[in-house]
């Protein structure tokens, strides 16, 4: 008798990833893996940034207190248990740099941008997958260089996240202006190179590999926001590269681009002549202000895509929101001078920058009203992502109000370099983006990892994040109105600031609560990765294309290229699967509303 034939080998799914571990998870060209790599790197950098914030708040909350334990841990930064002023400057500088460029940019922009854009446009991957991998590893190198700068002679850069010369240009100015500042510049150059590659990829992906039927006006607002933010990045970031090159030349090769004549540092007259420190400010803010929108537009786009899943109705004013994103993007390129009202600019120039800055509030307000109108009349389902989106809207409104004062040259003269500015930008590019990042993580976690995050812990995380965050930065507006200057290490040396001790104490306690509550998130994240409830393909009953594929999506994303039949917000309709239709549901099955 013949032996029975061996069973046929199991068929491989069409998109099974057959690459080895290293190509699959480390040097991967899959946009999803790269997105997750960015997110993990950014979250680790956030831990560093949050630790630095804790050190800042310890100093400001208890300015006269000695911390012997911290001296043991950070012997270079403390003396007699008291923080050294130059160390304080380095801590403030690195906190700002890390949070703006290495946390929010990595997680919200590059991380979620990478993960979501190809999926939401129905593509198998980014337009340039290899370039995408390269951009992540350059970004990783950039972060590594910045972290390494903590350990070089003189310590990390200490000239502020804006790196204004002469402080940043002269090694003898402050210890952090030695090797630390050069590494800071190198790190920024790498960051810009990486971000440019990433932005180029996103624009090319949106323009060239959209699924059939997915016209531009059917794109989800998330994709629109990444598209416009990427264009902004491509156009606004190169000038900082130019500025960084010139600053490196000033620092190491004896040029005088930014160093003026007659500068005396450490009792020595420098030989530099005729340079202009203001030139750096112009070049920096030409990047710096659009950078704000590079961060905040994706936050708003993400909020708009999460809202309808929990209101079960379409977003309000989709077309107008798209036009507003364009208007904000265009205007953001011509408003940089409002960061320099006190630099001695001509009043006419100041008037111009005031006008265009206040003009930007028009599209921003329309966008904000559209978000509010999207909530109007809905029965809100306050799950974790939606709670964070509500926080986004709250901070966008209240933080944006402060912008009206700072955009006005007359008011800004009084408020410039005070805690009013710190409160304002933390609410906007700190808070709006932070809460949107968390909203995105809670919302797309099931898609990324195939498991759902714990809802109770998510809600606790929201309230213990939002309440202290709002307390801290709302109060800082009032510190600013009282004239408290930012970046001052020993504010108690000034009599008029003695009365702010109590406020600083409350702010510090709130900051510790804020940082501590992030452990709830970490526990939830890790626990859910391992033990979270297994997620179905579309747990939120949402409409965009990523929800039409399994969770997590396979390599190559789609078994067959989807054909898009409708816009991204087909909610409140009668459909076989419920009150929604994903973008690929045929028009014959469910009528198309837009």
Partner 1 sequence: MNADTAAVDAVAVREDQLKLGLWMFLATVTMLFAAFTSAYIVRRSGSDWRHVALPSILWLNSLVLAASSVAVEIANVRGTRTAWRSSAAAMVMAFALGIVFLAGQVVAWRQMVSAGVYLPTSPHSSFFFMLTGAHAVHVIAALAVLGWGAVATLSGARDPRAWTSRMSLCRTFWHYLGGVWLFLFALVSLY
**φ, ψ of residue 486 in degrees (nearest 5):** -75, 165
The answer to the question of residue 235 lying near partner 1 (CB under 8 A) is yes
Question: By CB under 8 A, how many residues form the interface with partner 1?
Answer: 36
Q: Is 580 helix (H, G, I), strand (E, B) or coil?
A: strand
Nearest residue (CB) to partner 1, 282 versus 501: 282
Q: Which tokens go with 110? A: 């590059």
> What is the maximum alpha-carbon separation in the chain?
103
Residue 259 binds partner 1, judged by CB under 8 A: no
Using the minimum distance from each CB to partner 1, give the nearer residue, 289 or 447. 289
When binding is defined by CB under 8 A, the residue of 162, 255, 359, 365 that contacts partner 1 is 255
Give the residues across from 534 on adjacent strands: 451
Q: Applying CB under 8 A, which of residues 203, 221, 436, 549 lies at the interface with partner 1? A: 203
The closest of 227, 248, 245 to 297, measured between CA atoms, is 227
Which residue of 69, 216, 245, 413 would you call a contact of partner 1, by CB under 8 A? Answer: 245
- CB of 178 vs partner 1, minimal distance in Å: 20
d(CA 52, CA 293): 25
How distant, in Å, are the alpha carbons of 166, 421, 484 from that of 163?
9, 17, 21
Interface residue with partner 1, options 26, 73, 151, 208 (CB under 8 A): 208
- What gap in Å lies between CA 182 and CA 188, rounded to an integer? 10
Cβ 203 to partner 1, closest distance in Å?
6
The span of 112-120, 124-132, 179-187, 545-553 binding partner 1 (CB under 8 A) equals 124-132
Q: Rule CB under 8 A: is residue 242 a binding residue for partner 1?
A: yes
Among residues 59, 93, 196, 543, the one that binds partner 1 under rule CB under 8 A: 196
Does 283 participate in binding partner 1 (rule CB under 8 A)?
Answer: yes
Q: Which stretch binds partner 1 (CB under 8 A): 236-244, 395-403, 450-458, 537-545?
A: 236-244
Q: Decide if residue 122 touches partner 1 (CB under 8 A).
A: no
For partner 1, the closer of residues 275 and 391 by Cβ is: 275
Q: What does the block give as tokens for 467? A: 């309440």
Q: Which residues pair with 571 in a beta bridge?
A: 580
CB 234 → partner 1: shortest distance, Å? 5
Return the residue of 51, 273, 456, 563 that touches partner 1, per CB under 8 A: 273
Contact 182/171 with Cβ under 8 angstroms?
no
Q: Choose among 220, 227, 229, 157: nearest CA to 187.
A: 157
Q: How far is CA 380 from CA 252, 376, 390, 412, in A?
A: 58, 9, 10, 39
Q: How far apart are alpha carbons 343 and 278 in whole angstroms?
A: 8
CA–CA separation, 235 and 334 (whole Å): 12
The tokens for 232 are 């902004």
Among 49, 154, 275, 329, binds partner 1 (CB under 8 A): 275
Residue 489, both tokens: 């290490």
Under rule CB under 8 A, residue 200 binds partner 1: yes
Asked if 563 is part of the footprint of partner 1 (rule: CB under 8 A), the reply reads no
Where do contacts with partner 1 occur on this chain (CB under 8 A)? 127-128, 131, 196, 200, 203-204, 207-209, 234-239, 241-243, 245-246, 249, 253-257, 261, 273-276, 279, 282-283, 286
């Amino acid at each position: 008798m013949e032996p029975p034939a061996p069973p046929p080998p199991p068929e491989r799914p069409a998109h099974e990833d057959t690459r080895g571990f290293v190509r699959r998870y480390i040097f991967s060209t899959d946009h999803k893996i790269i997105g997750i790599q960015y997110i993990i790197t950014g979250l680790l950098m956030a831990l560093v940034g949050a630790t630095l914030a804790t050190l800042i708040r310890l100093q400001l909350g208890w300015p006269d207190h000695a911390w012997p334990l911290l001296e043991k841990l950070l012997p270079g930064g403390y003396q007699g248990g008291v923080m050294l002023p130059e160390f304080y400057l380095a801590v403030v500088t690195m906190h700002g740099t890390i949070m703006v460029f290495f946390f929010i940019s990595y997680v919200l922009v590059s991380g979620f941008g990478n993960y979501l854009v190809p999926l939401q446009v129905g593509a198998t991957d980014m337009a340039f997958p290899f370039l995408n991998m390269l951009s992540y590893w350059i970004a990783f190198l950039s972060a590594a260089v910045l972290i390494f700068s903590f350990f070089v002679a003189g310590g990390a850069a200490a000239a502020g996240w804006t790196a204004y010369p002469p402080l940043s240009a002269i090694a003898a100015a402050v210890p952090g202006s030695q090797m630390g500042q050069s590494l800071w510049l190198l790190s920024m150059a790498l960051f810009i190179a990486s971000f440019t590659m990433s932005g180029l990829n996103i624009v090319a992906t949106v323009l060239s590999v959209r699924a059939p039927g997915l016209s531009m006006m059917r794109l989800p607002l998330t994709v629109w926001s990444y598209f416009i933010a990427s264009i902004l990045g491509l156009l606004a970031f190169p000038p900082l590269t130019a500025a960084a090159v010139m600053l490196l030349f000033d620092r190491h090769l004896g040029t005088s681009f930014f160093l003026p004549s007659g500068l005396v540092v450490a009792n020595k007259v420098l030989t530099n002549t005729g340079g202009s420190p203001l030139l750096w400010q112009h070049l920096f803010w030409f990047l710096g202000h659009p950078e704000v929108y590079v961060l905040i537009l994706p936050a708003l786009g993400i909020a708009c895509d999460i809202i309808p899943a929990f209101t079960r109705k379409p977003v309000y004013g989709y077309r107008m929101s798209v036009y507003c994103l364009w208007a904000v993007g265009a205007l953001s390129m011509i408003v940089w001078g409002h960061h320099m009202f006190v630099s001695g600019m001509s009043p006419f120039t100041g008037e111009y920058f005031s006008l265009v800055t206040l003009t930007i509030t028009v599209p921003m307000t329309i966008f904000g009203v559209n978000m509010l109108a999207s909530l109007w009349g809905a029965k809100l389902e306050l799950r974790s992502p939606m709670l964070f989106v509500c926080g986004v809207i709250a901070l966008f409104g209240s933080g944006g109000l402060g912008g009206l004062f700072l955009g006005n040259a007359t008011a800004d003269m009084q408020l410039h370099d005070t805690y009013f500015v710190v409160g304002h930008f933390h609410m906007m590019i700190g808070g709006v983006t932070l809460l949107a990042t968390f909203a995105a993580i809670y919302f797309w976690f099931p898609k990324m990892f195939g498991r759902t995050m714990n809802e109770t812990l998510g809600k606790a995380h929201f309230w213990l994040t939002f309440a202290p965050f709002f307390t801290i930065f709302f109060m800082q507006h009032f510190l600013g109105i009282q004239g408290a200057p930012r970046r001052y290490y020993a504010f108690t040396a000034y009599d008029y600031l003695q009365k702010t001790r109590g406020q600083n104490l409350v702010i510090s306690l709130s900051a510790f609560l804020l940082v501590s509550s992030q452990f709830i998130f970490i526990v939830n994240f890790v626990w859910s990765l391992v033990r979270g409830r297994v997620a179905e393909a579309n747990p939120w009953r949402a409409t965009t294309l990523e929800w039409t594929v399994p969770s997590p999506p396979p390599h190559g994303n789609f078994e067959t290229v989807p054909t898009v039949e409708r816009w991204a917000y087909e909610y409140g309709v009668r459909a076989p699967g419920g009150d929604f239709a994903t973008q690929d549901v045929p028009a014959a099955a469910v009528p198309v509303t837009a």
